[in-house]
Amino acid sequence: MSKPVILTGLRANNDLHIGNYFGALLPLIDMAKKHAEEYQVNLFVPDLHSFTTPIDHSQLQAQIMNNLRLFVAAGLPLDNDSVYIYRQSYIPAHSELTVILNSFTGVGEMERMTQFKDKSAKLGADRVSVGLFDYPVLMASDMLLYGATYVPVGDDQSQHIEITRDLAQRMNAKFGEILSPPLEVKKQHEFFGKDQGLRIKDLSDPTKKMSKSDDTGKGIIFLSDDPDAAAKKIMSATTDSVGVIKLDYENQPGISNLLQIHALLSGQRLEEVAKQYEGQTNYSDLKKDVADLVKNFLVNFQKALQAVDTTMLAAKLKASETAMNQTANETLLRVQKAVGLR
């Protein structure tokens, strides 16, 4: 690989909502477009990660392919030779390197992982899998197989960059320079920018982020929602009794959330949108405007999704997975030789 590698992925089994779209999917696509001239962009579907927590396995394959189509509908440039899209499980080296790295990883290191502690607490001890425990080592393999320099992660995944660096440095100290670790978290934030942008909140409870864990679905706008039904969700969004529109996250989180959604969908700066509505006493006008924006967005996005050229997508997947297997296998062989397996 002649260019530094930027690597990122988006879980396959999530029913994506507009919060995912603007908070993760669109920045990911924008990053691919922005950096593809200077960097190699590896965009992969981490399908092996998908069932570290319980899922409906009968739906996984359809979800994998649907999410790949979502990437394309959101604007992923399939014709760019520096952008690769691939499925993690189609590169066997991910699993093989993980098995090797497991023998150089401490149980205590995994037990200290914040995400493991959080997720296992929610699941209960009897439902926590070894896969969930071992998740960070598989994630390290995702990065190390391609010598990824940059990996965009939120604060909740900073530990995964750190353990990846620790594992690479540990292996290199013992066997020579066989793995290239990603840059430290501070430099990742300098490259990508620490500010992750606007965070869309739940429409029913605007004090928490929009999440598919809401069983009712009333507070979430899914990308697959019927546009008219989604507009009704906006009209039913929780606001407040203050009676005057103002961008005030603490005292008016519902109104502030609607202003944020408006800004993201209209392409305006949040401050401009807030100024446009500030002081108005009729909340329904703001809701109607946001509902119209949401409806139009979903209509257009769903049209784009239907228009995705699946033949071109399949060809891109095949070419990318062939190239990524070659790169990953070269790294794996180097490690296998170092530990005495080859």
Pairwise CA distance, residues 328 & 338, whole Å: 15
Domains in the chain: boundaries:
5-197+310-339, 227-305
Q: Output the CA–CA distances (angstroms, integers) from residue 240 to 19, 183, 218, in the order listed.
A: 22, 45, 17
Query: Given 3.40.50.620, 3.30.420.40, 3.30.470.20, 3.30.413.10, which CATH number is that of 5-197+310-339?
Result: 3.40.50.620
- Which structure tokens are listed for 298? 């979903």
> Class of 227-305 per CATH?
mainly alpha
Pairwise CA distance, residues 312 & 34, whole Å: 22
Tell the burial category of 47 from Cβ atoms under 10 Å away from its Cβ (0-12, 13-18, 19+).
buried
Q: Spell out the per-residue pLDDT of the chain, length 342, in tens.
A: 579 999 988 777 667 899 888 888 888 888 888 888 899 999 999 999 988 888 889 999 999 998 899 889 999 889 999 999 999 999 999 999 999 999 999 998 988 887 777 777 777 767 788 888 899 999 999 999 999 999 987 766 788 999 999 999 999 999 999 999 999 999 988 888 765 556 799 999 999 988 766 667 789 999 999 999 999 999 999 999 999 999 999 999 999 999 999 999 999 999 999 999 999 999 999 999 999 999 999 999 999 999 999 999 999 999 999 999 999 999 999 999 999 999
Q: What is the pTM of this model?
A: 0.85
HSE, CB side, 13 Å, CA atoms: give it for residue 115. 19
Pairwise CA distance, residues 312 & 71, whole Å: 13
Q: Give every CB contact of residue 260 below 8 A, 6+ residues apart in sequence.
A: 198, 199, 200, 201, 270
Catalytic residue positions, numbered = 119, 209, 212
- Which structure tokens are listed for 217? 């679905």
Q: Which is it for strands 83-87 and 40-45: parallel, antiparallel or unpaired?
A: parallel
